[in-house]
Structure 1
Amino acid sequence: MACSFPTSQAIVVGGGLGGMSAANTVVENGGRVVLLDKSSFCGGNSTKATSGINGAGTKTQKAKGIPDNADIFTQDTLKGGAKKPELAKLLCVNSAADVDWLVEKFNLDLSLVARLGGHSQPRTHRGKERFPGMTITYALIQMLEKVAEKTDLARIVTKAKVFKLICENSVCVGCVYEKGGQEFKEFGPVILASGGFGADFTNDSLLAKYRPDLLHLPTTNGEHCTGDGIKMGEAIGATSIDLEWVQVHPTGLVKPDDADAKIKFLAAEALRGVGGIILNAEGKRFCNELGRRDYVTGEMWKSKPPFRLCLNKAASDEIIWHCKHYTGRGVMKSYASGEDLAKDMGVALSVIEQTHEEHYQAAKKTETDPDGGSWPAYPSGKSWDEASGKTGSGKKFYHNIIPGSAVKSEPFYVAIITPVIHYCMGGLLIDTDSAVVGPKNKAIPGLYAAGEVAGGVHGNNRLGGNSLLDCVVFGRVAGQAAAKYMLGADVKAVDLMELTGGLTGQVQSSKLAGGSYEDKMNSAPAATANGTGGGGGGITMSDVAKHNSKSDCWVVVDGQVLDVTSFLSEHPGGELAILTFAGKDATEEFNMIHPPDVIGKYAPDAVIGAVGAPGAAAPAAAAKAGGAPARKDKGGKLANHHAWGHLDGDLQPNWRVDLEDNPGALLINVKSYFNATWFLLLSVLYEVCATIFTAKNIKISNDRLGLTRSAILLILFIVIHAVGNLHVFKGPDDFNGYGYFYVRLYWTGFGLPANIVEEYILLSVLLHVFVGLKRTWDMKLALVNSQGINVLNLAISGLMLLTFMTIHLFQFRFGDTDQFGPYYVRPPPYLINFWGILSLNLFWTQDTSIEPVGVRDIYALEFQIFKNPLWSMFYIFSVVIFMIHACLGWKKVTPVLGIPRGHIAKVEMIGYAIMIVMGLVYISFPLYVMATSPFSGYEDSIQAPGRVE
């Protein structure tokens, strides 16, 4: 169908592997392409993939004698959860050619092959670089950058948030995007490769709509995964499918000193593929580690946490770069022996020995009689493994096993793991041309999708290694279809290497295109004993160590000191990936996954000096003072052009900054704090309403939803209670009237000597205490041996507060006021004195037509208690404990409130301020009482004679 807009270029939305595969393929077919990515740097979640890419019948497999083909792969994929045979077949049939395309066209090493969960053959390819997601994606990024720099066939625009598709006569003809506060349009067929929605925890997210039960879980997704492409497609009539199928991955890595972090690193499935086993808190296996992800996760829900992924020496040696990487990030720990592991876990060594012996015997029996066994096996046949066989998914494949007798002296690499939101199977329905399907089950002309934004490929569960493959296969299919749609008979084959002259210089070989760099691992100048480095001056390691917070973060890479503070929120791997090394040397871990030129190309402005280099402190100081540091910009012109946020593909001199981060003439960015406060208010209101109106039948689970929501409700109550208690400063009429206000609500209770507010608060307290203690028992106690008593800070302070609250209730709520006699007030007729709002006389009136009522004299009771210095000190001490507990809890609550990521840090500070102010308000009460004498009241004449001596 013809349209009035030019279609001389294809528009790719998203800079991950799906987008890069599509963009390079468009160029390979003789077309032009513009790639729009909303992040500062291309790569997306694809760069995080650490297990590999599947391929059935590849040249690598044939060289290794692996008897695999597309039919076997298709059957595994359908059995694994795929529901659309035509899409599953396309994925599997194209897998060999597309994996070989990566190897041959981009000079990649994918020579290692492993078997992941749900696969009947070893078919997951990775290279000696060990991190295939970064390796593959970066190679394609480099190629497209070369095309953009040497020809007019490609443009790359970063920080470009596409928010609308342009349609004419039911044909997609382009899109609208926002960059630097301005709107721009691009015209041509659109390929959506914008990812899923696994990081959108806002109240109106697709996650909240289709899987609200998962909102409490952490995620492995980058913050860009907010379902933008799906929402834009639906807005023009595209069909979505399987949005309720969100894959929860069983092996999110827990950082013990930040166990509740919302963003988790992912333990590559390859760790289980090489022989890693999963143990529960009791040191026992409970599932088939090589089963489907949904199966393993389901078995974890049924067992007792914390769960540990354990690799013996042979297993860890096979995948040692992963283990070193995770250990460096603080999410994996090495043990010199199984005895040390058992001690750290708090279980008997004999239990872990027995677990390994049973696993060993099952493997040996499988070797001699693979079709025997007493238990149903996965994917078929019988299994000798009782631990997993009881679950109906018995283990059939074993690798790097050890007998129980070897455990005591065996070295282990071990990580604590937890289920995490990982992948959204659902998205926009596509056909076998990767075209998005619209009304009447017909393709929408000019609109394609590839990668996680596309639905229908994986059904209700995705097999490990199929995500990178999905991106490449459907990215290429979409690129070819878009080129054909644009060019018709003018489609022609273009050799990318010939077009660009190849990937020249250091980046030509795959070893330097991504992954680990063994030859450069120890190339950073070594620091001397006093931390000054080899240069004897400049920026010392002790200086770097001072910059170790989110608001001031320095790291060292290959002897260079980088100030990465402003980059934290933009890092594709999340803030935690950098903050782990704040104030430290990150050379080894950085070089494991990044190419050697990445700093020079994408973050040259972050370099502020060298460790120990004479005179290096001067540019650092100049940079901090706001001056331009005297250093050469070493990045390529295109990379720097985009890094500085230019508004289009032309090399214009102007550049812009994000207004949200730039207060202009103001020292404080008032707008950003206002926005943060607004999101905080919305989140609190949502959580409170959800607590009241969405509660279902009581269910005992191991998530922290009950803990979080009860905490929000209690914080709201504490704020309101503090404001109410301020009436003590106005005297007995106001304070006792305030107390009587709640008495007048007793009719709202359920026949109890309390009102519904008190009952609800009591239930919230009980829920908070119960869930908190249960999570501490299940998840924290086991960490004390390895992490120290500090992991129990919340539990200890919470128990202290529970003790205080019990005493406080008996002193005030149930305290004896009969000794003072009733205090008489004239209560307003409508609960609140609306005519006294301006004078703040809300709970009493001087209208003599209203009969005085005798109420509890809590004013006199407060003076009696707080005149005792011991009780006052106990109260003040407890309030300080409350402030500590509240601030510790607030840090854990804030990331799960659905607040936009960019505002979380400010919301944290606002929360801390609220807790501290509330604490000071409560402390003011005993201080006021000790410093003053009680006031007799404004209407002393209506009190009973001799009421108080």
Structure 2
Amino acid sequence: DLCENVLGLNNKLNLKELKTAPAAQKPAPVAEKVAAAAAAPAPASNGYTMEEVAKHNTESDCWVALNGEVLDVTDFLPEHPGGKLAIMTFAGKDASKEFNMIHPADVVEKYASDAVLGPVVEASAAPVAAAAAAPAAPTNGYTLEEVAKHNTDTDCWVALNGQVLDVTDFLPEHPGGKLAIMTFAGKDASKEFNMIHPADVVEKYASDAILGPVVEASAVAPAGASNNLAQPLLSDYSAKAAPAQWWGEERNTCDMHGPLGPSVWSYCAALCYFVWMFVLETLKTIFTVKNWKNISDKSGLTRSAIFMMVFVTIHALGNIHLFFGAIHFNAYAYFLNHPCPWSTLLLPVEIYLLAAGLLHVTVATVRTFKFKSMNSSVDQLWLFLTGSVLFVFLVVHLMQFRFVSEAAAPQYYFRSKWMYPFYCSSDDTSCQLVHFKDLYKMEMKYFESFGWVLFYEAGVIAFWSHMKEGIRKVIAAYAGIPRKYKSQAQFFGQLMAYVLGLLYFSYPLFSYFAPIKDWAKYDAAMPTPVEM
């Protein structure tokens, strides 16, 4: 009777009758609830594991984990101000980090307290017999249960028409944006994929991403559990696990990684791949016309970005001459315009650089309006926002320095030679006396104003932020760098962005705090034009 009261069964249907009822008899409504409750997955330790949450990743059954709590947000999907897709991207996952970036701390308590199911808990170890009875993973393919485990942007699998694909490296290259793929990460996306893609698109462009077929999980007979409790779980730990740790002997040998060890070798290899990426893509940009496939294709961004990064690196290193005085600075600028006695170089380079910049701006704008929306978060639009600031800054900078005619600019006279440091002493008549636009004087004059210093520093910050995020995306999408070296290559990319940012940031400050106090003396130090 006590059990009947707990289960909510009345006296008209006792436990004995329930047990012996015919199979064809329709169960009572209460019995249906009991059976459904028994069939549902039970939460572990008064909560829900992330494995359980991961199973609820569809529009009709959508759970997410937020700050240690599990929420059923199925009914909230059509009401979400940011759109259904924003939630479905994290269906069956922990969305705490992204959620906390844009929501107040009490938003769940205020508006969705009824959606909270319970806390997130760790999965408890199952009995040995139960583990033995679990379905065995097939050896000739992948089950959808296995696919579901790979649902992050660093490990992304999808199922398409009976095939399992690892699309992790393709995420930043997808013309429709990363979010379109991440919505179906760890799921079967065949229906949605076939609606908008040709039948042979995977075979043509992503055949190397195919891991194998989708198969059903095959059940195996439960193995007999041993009653010998004396067997230690880690009996072979010292033989198998310890040597692989950092203190093990294998880490002190050169058999696998060479005498420098795995870390140094991986960074050296990554640096070689990183430099080769710049060399190869710059050569491709100059000597091939296939720099983009269509106006919204990402190759138009990548090629032009790498070419411009090479230029700004050379430009930043050249500006170091600013610290050593006018003749160093102007002689280097003159050399860039006259690297050989019979030719000029800077003009064609600047024309090509202008073409690369226009291509970069055009493709970036088209892609932003094609793949983003007003509901996109600031971090998704960050490259567009910083790029817009950088574009305005560059227009002003070019009007101040590059677009000023040599006749209208102040002239700097010095004796030039075609070897470093590209100038001779003023009394060395063996060197030709030449004149060039006095870029040093123009720069120092502008930066006498603190307002211009602030303007340039704001532009440098926009440049640094834009380059830092841009080079991260370029390296992540670049197929020429093996995946195992990408994290080390990212280190060099970020290091490059920080070094260039600091260099450009220092020039206006140096000019402002170390100005030319006597411009008459500055002009008198130059050789006189009469000597020409």
Normalised TM-score (structure 2): 0.56
Q: Give the secondary-structure state (helix, strand or coil) at the position aligned to 1:913.
A: helix
**Maintained 8 Å contact 2:293/2:299:** no
Distance 1:678 1:253 in 2: 24
Distance 1:680 1:708 in 2: 14
Shift of 1:863: 1.3
Query: Which 5+ residue runs of structure 1 have no aligned equivalent?
Result: 1-49, 51-105, 111-124, 136-217, 223-246, 279-286, 299-419, 426-451, 453-465, 473-496, 507-631, 648-652
Specify the alignment match of 1:656 in structure 2: 250
Shift of 1:703: 3.0
Q: Which residue of the other structure, out of 422, 434, 437, is the alignment partner of 1:842?
A: 422
Answer with 857-866 or 724-733: which moved more.
724-733
Distance 1:633 1:678 in 2: 47
- Verify: 1:906 aligned to 2:500, yes or no: no
Q: Give the secondary-structure state (helix, strand or coil) at the position aligned to 1:689.
A: helix
Distance 1:743 1:931 in 2: 29
Specify the alignment match of 1:774 in structure 2: 366
Specify the alignment match of 2:414 in structure 1: 825
Correspondence 1:146-225 to 2 at 5 A: none
**Maintained 8 Å contact 2:322/2:329:** yes
Q: Counterpart of 1:704 in structure 2: which amino acid?
A: K
**Maintained 8 Å contact 2:411/2:435:** yes
Distance 1:941 1:126 in 2: 78
1:150-190 per-position Cα deviation (integer Å, ceiling 9, x unaligned): xxxxxxxxxxxxxxxxxxxxxxxxxxxxxxxxxxxxxxxxx
**Maintained 8 Å contact 1:826/1:852:** yes
The structure carrying a bigger helix percent of its residues is: 2
- Verify: 1:806 aligned to 2:395, yes or no: yes
Structure 1 pair 717–255 and aligned structure 2 pair: CA distance change class (3 A): closer
Q: Which residue of the other structure, out of 192, 196, 200, is the alignment partner of 1:294?
A: 200
Q: Give the secondary-structure state (helix, strand or coil) at the position aligned to 1:740.
A: helix
Q: Which residue of the other structure, out of 206, 214, 224, is the alignment partner of 1:421?
A: 206
- Verify: 1:942 aligned to 2:524, yes or no: no
- Verify: 1:744 aligned to 2:338, yes or no: yes
Structure 1 pair 503–717 and aligned structure 2 pair: CA distance change class (3 A): farther
Aligned length: 373
Shift of 1:107: 8.3
Distance 2:506 2:312 in 1: 15
The structure carrying a bigger strand percent of its residues is: 1
Distance 1:899 1:693 in 2: 22
Distance 1:943 1:882 in 2: 40
Structure 1 pair 766–645 and aligned structure 2 pair: CA distance change class (3 A): farther
Shift of 1:818: 4.7
Distance 1:883 1:889 in 2: 10
Q: Which residue of the other structure, out of 145, 168, 180, is the alignment partner of 1:131?
A: 145
**Maintained 8 Å contact 2:177/2:371:** no
Shift of 1:635: 5.6
Shift of 1:916: 1.6
1:263-320 per-position Cα deviation (integer Å, ceiling 9, x unaligned): 9796577454xxx546xxxxxxxx647x87426999xxxxxxxxxxxxxxxxxxxxxx
Q: Counterpart of 1:826 in structure 2: which amino acid?
A: R
Shift of 1:870: 0.6
- Verify: 1:467 aligned to 2:48, yes or no: no
Specify the alignment match of 1:894 in structure 2: 475
**Maintained 8 Å contact 2:413/2:435:** yes
**Maintained 8 Å contact 2:148/2:186:** no
Q: Counterpart of 1:793 in structure 2: which amino acid?
A: W
Q: Counterpart of 2:363 in structure 1: which amino acid?
A: V
Structure 1 pair 792–636 and aligned structure 2 pair: CA distance change class (3 A): farther
Higher Cα Rg, which structure: 2
Q: Which residue of the other structure, out of 268, 283, 303, is the alignment partner of 1:689?
A: 283
Distance 1:736 1:792 in 2: 39
Structure 1 pair 109–924 and aligned structure 2 pair: CA distance change class (3 A): closer
Distance 2:177 2:415 in 1: 53
Shift of 1:765: 1.0
Specify the alignment match of 1:755 in structure 2: 347
Distance 2:455 2:214 in 1: 59
Correspondence 1:625-664 to 2 at 5 A: 634=233, 637=236, 656-657=250-251
1:776-829 per-position Cα deviation (integer Å, ceiling 9, x unaligned): 111122xx42x423210000000110110010000011236656642212222x
Specify the alignment match of 1:871 in structure 2: 452
Distance 2:178 2:359 in 1: 19
**Maintained 8 Å contact 1:706/1:768:** yes
Structure 1 pair 822–917 and aligned structure 2 pair: CA distance change class (3 A): same
Q: Give the secondary-structure state (helix, strand or coil) at the position aligned to 1:826.
A: strand
Distance 1:901 1:645 in 2: 25
Distance 2:198 2:292 in 1: 30
1:604-647 per-position Cα deviation (integer Å, ceiling 9, x unaligned): xxxxxxxxxxxxxxxxxxxxxxxxxxxx9846849x85555679
Shift of 1:937: 6.3
Specify the alignment match of 1:679 in structure 2: 273
Correspondence 1:5-16 to 2 at 5 A: none
Greater relative CO (CA pairs within 8 A, separation 6+)? 1
Specify the alignment match of 1:857 in structure 2: 438
Shift of 1:679: 2.4
Specify the alignment match of 2:30 in structure 1: none
Shift of 1:860: 1.1
Shift of 1:702: 3.5
**Maintained 8 Å contact 1:748/1:756:** no
**Maintained 8 Å contact 1:220/1:266:** no
Give identity over the alignment, percent. 27
Structure 1 pair 655–248 and aligned structure 2 pair: CA distance change class (3 A): closer
**Maintained 8 Å contact 1:676/1:903:** yes
Specify the alignment match of 2:5 in structure 1: none
- Verify: 1:882 aligned to 2:474, yes or no: no
1:33-70 per-position Cα deviation (integer Å, ceiling 9, x unaligned): xxxxxxxxxxxxxxxxx9xxxxxxxxxxxxxxxxxxxx
- Verify: 1:717 aligned to 2:311, yes or no: yes
**Maintained 8 Å contact 1:727/1:735:** yes
Q: Counterpart of 1:421 in structure 2: which amino acid?
A: A
Shift of 1:695: 3.2
**Maintained 8 Å contact 2:258/2:265:** no
Distance 2:172 2:515 in 1: 55
Structure 1 pair 725–467 and aligned structure 2 pair: CA distance change class (3 A): same
Distance 1:676 1:788 in 2: 32
Distance 2:482 2:363 in 1: 27
Specify the alignment match of 2:506 in structure 1: 924
Structure 1 pair 288–708 and aligned structure 2 pair: CA distance change class (3 A): closer
Structure 1 pair 670–939 and aligned structure 2 pair: CA distance change class (3 A): farther
Specify the alignment match of 2:357 in structure 1: 765
Q: Give the secondary-structure state (helix, strand or coil) at the position aligned to 2:206.
A: strand
1:744-777 per-position Cα deviation (integer Å, ceiling 9, x unaligned): 3698689xxx622111211111121111112111
Structure 1 pair 656–758 and aligned structure 2 pair: CA distance change class (3 A): same
**Maintained 8 Å contact 1:745/1:756:** no
Normalised TM-score (structure 1): 0.33
**Maintained 8 Å contact 1:748/1:755:** no
1:555-592 per-position Cα deviation (integer Å, ceiling 9, x unaligned): xxxxxxxxxxxxxxxxxxxxxxxxxxxxxxxxxxxxxx
Q: Counterpart of 1:718 in structure 2: which amino acid?
A: V
Q: Give the secondary-structure state (helix, strand or coil) at the position aligned to 1:131.
A: helix
**Maintained 8 Å contact 1:728/1:734:** yes
- Verify: 1:729 aligned to 2:314, yes or no: no
Q: Counterpart of 2:437 in structure 1: which amino acid?
A: R
Shift of 1:851: 3.0
Specify the alignment match of 1:788 in structure 2: 377
Shift of 1:126: 11
Query: Which 5+ residue runs of structure 2 have no aligned equivalent?
Result: 1-56, 58-132, 159-164
**Maintained 8 Å contact 2:386/2:466:** yes
1:447-494 per-position Cα deviation (integer Å, ceiling 9, x unaligned): xxxxx7xxxxxxxxxxxxx7257xx9xxxxxxxxxxxxxxxxxxxxxx
**Maintained 8 Å contact 1:866/1:930:** yes
